[in-house]
Structure 1
Amino acid sequence: MKQLFATTSRGFEELLKVELTELGATECRVVQGGVHFQATDEIQYKVLLWSRLSSRILLPLVETKIYSDLDLYSTVISQNWLELFDERTTFLVDFNGTNQDIRHTQFGAMRVKDGIVDYFERNGKARPTVDKDNPDIRIHTYLNRENLIVSLDLSGDALHIRGYREETGKAPLRETLAAAIVLRSGWQQGTPLLDPMCGSGTLLIEAAQMEVKIAPQLYRLRWGFDFWKGHNQDAWDKVKKEALSLAEFECSKNTQAHFYGLDLDHRVLEKAKKNAKSAGVAHLIQWKQGDIASLQNPFDKESIGTVICNPPYGERIGTTPALIALYSVFGQRLKQQFVDWNVSIFSGEPTLLDCLRLRSHRQFKAKNGPLDCVQKNYRISQRKLSDNADKSAVENSLEFNENSVQMAPDFANRLQKNIKKIEKWAKQQGLDAYRLYDADLPEYNLAVDRYADNIVIQEYAAPKTIDENKARQRLLDAVSATLAVTGIETNKLILKVRQKQKGTNQYEKLAHKGEYFYVTEYGAKLWVNLTDYLDTGLFLDHRLTRKMLGEMAKDKDFLNLFAYTGSATVHAALGKAKSTTTVDMSNTYLNWAEQNLLLNDIEGKQHKLIQADCLQWLEHCDRQFDLIFVDPPTFSNSKRMEDSWDVQRDHIKLMSNLKRILRKEGTIVFSNNKRGFKMDFDGLATLGLTAVEISAKTLPLDFQRNKQIHNCWLITLKA
């Protein structure tokens, strides 16, 4: 009998103990990070071949106490390494842990290596070679304070490397972790197993191999014991032969494909198919491309099985807001399609699991690399309406999607009503981007915008008097209702939290996806980006203002100050302006403006793009213009500006500078978004200017509920 140690991820020790016991190991003792056990040669090889949860199987050579690097070297050089391997064998030292004297694992590994090669030299042998890539022998050294354990690694490469997964998707699960998830899921062999976001298929492949009794390491070609002098070839051949025969028999007997994998990405599915074929279970798994929002139960009504899943998750929910929509609609589909089924979800973000709106009956903690994760098991029970349920609301919401769960019926009804009205108007106007809902109901304080085939939901910050959990739940309900009403795919919905902006936060970057597409607006094509910034590159409420500028610009020299992405410049140029000048402090937005111009085939020296502090540039400008559009921020204290800016305080100074470059018959179109803005008519009169408010005329149909979203003025020289 040998004393061995199986390492595993923290949290799986008890599960591994059960597995080792079932494989025939004795005297199993759990410690943090693994299980000590005893085994005969046959059981040792059986564990190596069959363990799905072990990371490595180690044969301890020496356990002692050391207090310095000299102690470490002395301990290693005193071992009889020639009993383990000869000088022609390559080796590698894996070193884990430190103490007060040995503070770096690399230094510790070097001292162990020195001890081994010096031992061979002292015994008249050549120094064995270190091979960092494909060593014949691995020596595993673990140091915890003064406690040292030196072991022979019988595994070679880590046991999570099964050999079947040449192709993976993003952030794949390790096979050992996938196996643990399957074992903890409650799935019973012989029953259906479905993964609706299967990625490279690891969960399904591990489960399928369990069912047809394919040893996880059956096709491994290299082992850590291949060059070990203690290797028992006869025992290994017997164990390997039995495993091959069992797999062949079970695969021929089990031909029913009751494993089912779905994913939105067809490229990942192709990888999953290749992986399943390499693992010997391709005949057991069906694959299909599909969106979670339209998830259907592919099995007959009599079949009861398990849904298992490792959905995507971010390290912080705030950085991946679209996941709220994904989990929310996933919970709906589970309740609609999988009554009486078991569900097991593994996630690194417990808050996202709350979006499922399911009550778990069991949960487990685990690590996925450095991330703390949780696995929750659920039972989907039949839901019944209470006698007091609002059946009319249920019937109304079923109008949007006959399978939809009844969440936020008031919001859903209002959104549906708005869509019928606004989308017909938008089509007549030639618009791809417009607002569908703008805090129409006080309980659902958010905006819903359509950009072609995409929906953007912007949540306004809830008042401090509203309970945070209640506000969050309403948001989740609204997201679910929006998906049901619009019928869009989950990955086409973007969720943002919009708060009152202060200082330099107004253009805070949110992501780095770089996903741009264009929308049309009265014949103009304009690039938008829905994910990288709080704003999308197009202020929808200024749509009529831009159209008006296009109509006013013919044969005129046009200036766009605080130009943002230059959408107003595009309209002016398409309106046959003689020249356009576009000024903004942001290089990002100025490049965006340039791309907008090119998208509309607007080129030439008459169209100038200038990166500058708009206020400083204005003071030194020596040109004159017929038409000036200025839409400054409400407030700014950008470090790139010499002074802070406040539109209420500073607009007369701005007008003074604009008057200087305005031609006699020219017009200033002045707009801003400050609520309660008051025009200083006396100040304008002093400058010889007059102003006419046209705010009402510049509010399009989809923004008429919000009369204060912006104000707009025509300013001219007094006659």
Structure 2
Amino acid sequence: MHKLIVTTSKGLDELLKTEIEQILSTLNIVESTSDTKNSTSAEDDADDYELPALKLQPGQVSFEGTLKDAYQLCLHSRLANRVLLVVAEGTVNSAEELYDVAKEADWPSQFDSYVPFMIQFNGTNNAINNSQFGALKVKDAIVDQFQEAGFERPSVDKLKPGIVIQARLRRDSLHLCIDLSGGSLHKRGYRTDAGEAPLKEHVAAGILMRSGWAQDANSVLLDPMCGSGTIPIEAAMMAANIPPNLDKETWGFEHWNQHEKNTFSEVVAQASKRVKTPNAAIYAYDLSTKIVELAEQNAMRAGVADFITFKQCDVLDAVITEAHNNTASNNAEDEASEPAVKGYIVSNPPYGERLGEYTSLLPLFDKLGHHLKKHFANWHVSLLSSNQDLLKALKLRYTKSYKLMNGKLECVLMNYQISGQNLEIFESQTDENHEFANRLRKNLKRLKPWIKRSDTNAYRVYDADLPHYNLAIDIYNDWVVVQEYAAPKDVPEEKAKQRLQEALIHIPKVLGIPASKMAVKVRRQNKGKEQYEKVAQKGQRVIVHEHEAQFYINPTDYLDVGLFLDHRDTRLLFKQQCVNKDVLNLFAYTGSVSVHAAKAKAKSVTTVDMSNTYIEWAKDNFSLNKLNGSYQFIQADCLKWLTREHGQYDLMFIDPPSFSNSKRMDDTWDVQRDHVSLLSDARACLKPGGKIFFSNNLRQFKLDQNAVEALGFKVEDITQKTIPEDFKRNQKIHKCWILSL
């Protein structure tokens, strides 16, 4: 007997224990029955077979078993990653103890000195806190033992080892094992290109078992988002009794001296006899024709392509009908009109790990919930995802959930029964009855006449109208940008997340835009020039127009998109005064004010900003508008640059940030503290009779009017004139003055 350790992913260990029990008991009973010449029943054989005691630990199951048991698990386990045979174990609280435990094993009896080997060291403790160091000490013990016994020193080969030795350290307990698997057993060999973050084969097998289909394998199975086909392929192999590693080319025991070739050959022969033609009807659909072709090629390599119906199909069009129930037909066109009475949907839908992907997937999952209720009544549904918020968008009540790992991703498997409460229509799912959708629709209706008059396709349609939907929603041509304001402290995070999810589901429906053109930003009370914060890197550019001017905006990559909509009317007022003037746009951002000045036939336009990115953006906006003339673009610290300029400008536009501590500045900037000093420097650059449009968006800002008037300015508050119709709900969005000499 040998001590065996069988490993798997966390979350599958209990299933693995059950699977090992089934494999060992079933195969031993089958073999015992086939060898029995009298009429002894399988039940009697079951009584004769004594299952070994299995010990369950996170990610592994261990037991005392025969080498034949190990071979059977290597061949038949659908959940195991590795099957390890323990050759030494002991307590390790120092490097010396690690070396001593490793040297206790009789390594020359395990493999010959000419066979290259490698050490895989897993785990650390207080004494061995580096796995590379641990592997080195084990290696030293092994080669020392060979040399002391008079053998040649064996070599280490990490690329093509003949023997892989696994060292598993848990707290102070060390196990040294021969890896019989020859690489992780989840790699069945049928996938050559699985795309990004593929579903591991053993995880696919695990979710089929958790779904209940594996115990009811004559039922219909559908994966409507099959990707590379892992779930339907694993299902077909289960239904056909094909051991997952029957055709594995290399094993870890091939150069192991204690390998029993005849025993392994018997195990393989017995496994081959159990393969059968399945009765299950298995369907694999995907939106991409290319992906469906890839999945079908994988199925061919696995030898199960004839048992699966592949089809290019949108998940929202996917249906299975009675005509296919319990039939492995490959004809996907002869569907009857009535739905199948019972079946299983098991799938690993896209996760949407990044915010933009998640946003575009939410409406899909919302529609999928409706689709399942309409076309799959009485079906079982099992979905694996690392994003529970997406699954919540289904608006289905789950019956069971399981946590498990798919590679490094923490995932949850949710099981649903499409019956009872899950067939009820939730009032909140109907747009007409949803308060947020209804308010957004009313806003659009109210703004429609104004939008036609305003000569722009960039405007705000919602601004926290409903306190518990704390969002701003802006249209930019055919894009929508959603800004989520931080929820008040008295609103639970889960409730705020739910409200956002509801809004993101309804926004594309009401506005009539695809979810793929919806960008979501989270705006918090950060100090600094928020528009400089990069949140993505897609390089997406969209052209919008405003008062006969055009601008590039980037809806995805920055917190602000490149055009401040609340200054639309301010820009128009400024433009009207630019004719034949020398104009300065300070803190210029992407130069929208400069474009308007140039289009108004300003004599000269100087655009200054600290960011080279935005200076280049401003240049692109000028090119977009085909503007050529006396135009300067200067990347500089605006405050320093201003102190070097004198008496050059008739008109200035100054819209500084509320606060800045940029590394490009020698000191911090605070608009409340420093605005008088800024305006004093600006006055020195202003021609007699010149004007400054001064604006900022600090809600609590108070202009020091006495100090500003002492500089020689006449002060006119034009804030109310500059708040556009689409910002009327937010009268404090900015403040604006004209300062005249």
**Pairwise TM-score range, normalised by the shorter structure:** 0.7 to 0.9
Aligned CA distance change for structure 1 residues 434 and 225 (closer, same or farther; 3 Å): same
Per-residue deviation, 1:326:
3.4
Contact 1:324 1:352 in 2 (8 A): no
Are residues 1:488 and 2:525 paired?
no
Aligned CA distance change for structure 1 residues 102 and 638 (closer, same or farther; 3 Å): closer
**What is the CA–CA distance in structure 1 between the aligned matches of 2:594 and 2:293, rounded to whole Å?**
46
Q: Deviations over 1:354-397 (max 9, x none)?
A: 554433222223234455443332223355999xx99xxx7xx9
Q: Deviations over 1:142-200 (max 9, x none)?
A: 34455443221110111122222221333233322232223212334344444455544
Per-residue deviation, 1:323:
2.7
Greater Cα offset, 540-549 or 422-431: 422-431
Contact 1:358 1:378 in 2 (8 A): yes
Aligned CA distance change for structure 1 residues 371 and 628 (closer, same or farther; 3 Å): same
Aligned CA distance change for structure 1 residues 524 and 160 (closer, same or farther; 3 Å): farther
Per-residue deviation, 1:271:
5.0
Contact 1:14 1:30 in 2 (8 A): no
**What is the CA–CA distance in structure 1 between the aligned matches of 2:294 and 2:721, rounded to whole Å?**
56
- Residue pairs, 1:445-456, within 5 angstroms: 445-456=470-481
Aligned CA distance change for structure 1 residues 499 and 228 (closer, same or farther; 3 Å): closer
Per-residue deviation, 1:27:
0.7
**What is the CA–CA distance in structure 1 between the aligned matches of 2:93 and 2:368, rounded to whole Å?**
60
Residue matched to 1:189: 217
Per-residue deviation, 1:650:
4.8
Residue matched to 1:615: 639
**What is the CA–CA distance in structure 2 between the aligned matches of 1:49 and 1:430, rounded to whole Å?**
70
Q: 2:301 aligns with which of 278, 282, 303?
A: 278
- Residue pairs, 1:42-57, within 5 angstroms: 42-57=68-83
**What is the CA–CA distance in structure 2 between the aligned matches of 1:84 and 1:520, rounded to whole Å?**
72
Residue matched to 2:319: 298
Residue matched to 1:223: 251
Q: Deviations over 1:423-460 (max 9, x none)?
A: 67646755342212122334433221122333222223
**What is the CA–CA distance in structure 1 between the aligned matches of 2:524 and 2:126, rounded to whole Å?**
50
Residue matched to 2:692: 668
Structure 2 unaligned spans of 5+: 26-50, 322-337
Contact 1:331 1:358 in 2 (8 A): no
Aligned CA distance change for structure 1 residues 426 and 76 (closer, same or farther; 3 Å): same
Q: 2:499 aligns with which of 469, 474, 496?
A: 474
Residue matched to 1:567: 592
Are residues 1:361 and 2:399 paired?
yes
Residue matched to 2:419: 381
Residue matched to 1:516: 540
Q: Deviations over 1:402-421 (max 9, x none)?
A: xx545862221221233345
**What is the CA–CA distance in structure 1 between the aligned matches of 2:585 and 2:297, rounded to whole Å?**
55
Q: 1:438 aligns with which of 463, 470, 487?
A: 463
**What is the CA–CA distance in structure 2 between the aligned matches of 1:486 and 1:4, rounded to whole Å?**
60
Q: Deviations over 1:253-292 (max 9, x none)?
A: 66x44233457xx7766654544443344451535475x7
Aligned CA distance change for structure 1 residues 671 and 225 (closer, same or farther; 3 Å): same
Are residues 1:320 and 2:355 paired?
yes
Aligned CA distance change for structure 1 residues 463 and 670 (closer, same or farther; 3 Å): same
Residue matched to 1:400: none
Per-residue deviation, 1:635:
4.2
Q: Deviations over 1:625-671 (max 9, x none)?
A: 23321112244455654565554565444443333322345443333
Per-residue deviation, 1:132:
0.3
Residue matched to 1:401: none
What's the secondary structure of 1:45's corresponding residue?
Answer: helix
Contact 1:27 1:37 in 2 (8 A): yes
Greater Cα offset, 446-455 or 152-161: 446-455
Aligned CA distance change for structure 1 residues 443 and 224 (closer, same or farther; 3 Å): closer
Residue matched to 1:708: 732
Contact 2:125 2:169 in 1 (8 A): yes
Are residues 1:409 and 2:434 paired?
yes
Q: 2:206 aligns with which of 163, 180, 203?
A: 180
**What is the CA–CA distance in structure 2 between the aligned matches of 1:578 and 1:678, rounded to whole Å?**
33
Per-residue deviation, 1:137:
1.4
Per-residue deviation, 1:15:
0.8
Per-residue deviation, 1:343:
2.9
**What is the CA–CA distance in structure 2 between the aligned matches of 1:444 and 1:71, rounded to whole Å?**
62
- Residue pairs, 1:100-139, within 5 angstroms: 102-139=128-165
- Give the counterpart letter for 1:672 in structure 2: N
- Give the counterpart letter for 2:368 in structure 1: R
Structure 1 unaligned spans of 5+: 398-403
**What is the CA–CA distance in structure 2 between the aligned matches of 1:657 and 1:21, rounded to whole Å?**
83
Aligned CA distance change for structure 1 residues 140 and 460 (closer, same or farther; 3 Å): closer
Contact 2:715 2:737 in 1 (8 A): yes
- Give the counterpart letter for 1:610 in structure 2: I
RMSD (Å) for aligned C-alpha atoms: 3.7
Contact 1:308 1:345 in 2 (8 A): yes
Q: Deviations over 1:9-57 (max 9, x none)?
A: 2332221121112212531412313222455555433321221111111
Aligned CA distance change for structure 1 residues 170 and 287 (closer, same or farther; 3 Å): farther
Contact 2:363 2:515 in 1 (8 A): no
**What is the CA–CA distance in structure 2 between the aligned matches of 1:50 and 1:70, rounded to whole Å?**
39
Q: Deviations over 1:112-150 (max 9, x none)?
A: 333333444445443333210121211222344554432
What's the secondary structure of 1:87's corresponding residue?
Answer: coil
- Give the counterpart letter for 1:446 in structure 2: L
Are residues 1:163 and 2:189 paired?
yes
Per-residue deviation, 1:517:
0.9
Aligned CA distance change for structure 1 residues 281 and 575 (closer, same or farther; 3 Å): farther
**What is the CA–CA distance in structure 2 between the aligned matches of 1:473 and 1:19, rounded to whole Å?**
39
Per-residue deviation, 1:224:
0.6
Per-residue deviation, 1:102:
4.5
**What is the CA–CA distance in structure 1 between the aligned matches of 2:56 and 2:298, rounded to whole Å?**
34
Q: Deviations over 1:84-110 (max 9, x none)?
A: 333332221222344565443323323
- Residue pairs, 1:541-620, within 5 angstroms: 541-550=566-575, 552-602=577-627, 606-620=630-644
What's the secondary structure of 2:684's corresponding residue?
Answer: helix
> How many residue pairs align between the two structures?
691
Residue matched to 2:56: 31
Residue matched to 1:658: 682
- Give the counterpart letter for 1:278 in structure 2: R
Superposition TM-score, scaled by structure 1 size: 0.84
Q: Deviations over 1:509-548 (max 9, x none)?
A: 3523243212221344433233333222221122233345
Greater Cα offset, 620-629 or 46-55: 620-629
**What is the CA–CA distance in structure 2 between the aligned matches of 1:204 and 1:599, rounded to whole Å?**
51
Aligned CA distance change for structure 1 residues 230 and 462 (closer, same or farther; 3 Å): closer
Q: Deviations over 1:459-513 (max 9, x none)?
A: 2334445455444433332222213323433333233333344x33734735232
What's the secondary structure of 2:54's corresponding residue?
Answer: strand
**What is the CA–CA distance in structure 1 between the aligned matches of 2:225 and 2:532, rounded to whole Å?**
32
Aligned CA distance change for structure 1 residues 47 and 509 (closer, same or farther; 3 Å): same
Q: 2:234 aligns with which of 193, 206, 209?
A: 206
Are residues 1:11 and 2:37 paired?
no
- Give the counterpart letter for 1:530 in structure 2: P
Q: Deviations over 1:211-263 (max 9, x none)?
A: 3333222332111122223333344334435545655x426x66x44233457
What's the secondary structure of 1:24's corresponding residue?
Answer: helix
Contact 2:75 2:246 in 1 (8 A): yes
Aligned CA distance change for structure 1 residues 59 and 681 (closer, same or farther; 3 Å): closer
**What is the CA–CA distance in structure 1 between the aligned matches of 2:89 and 2:709, rounded to whole Å?**
93
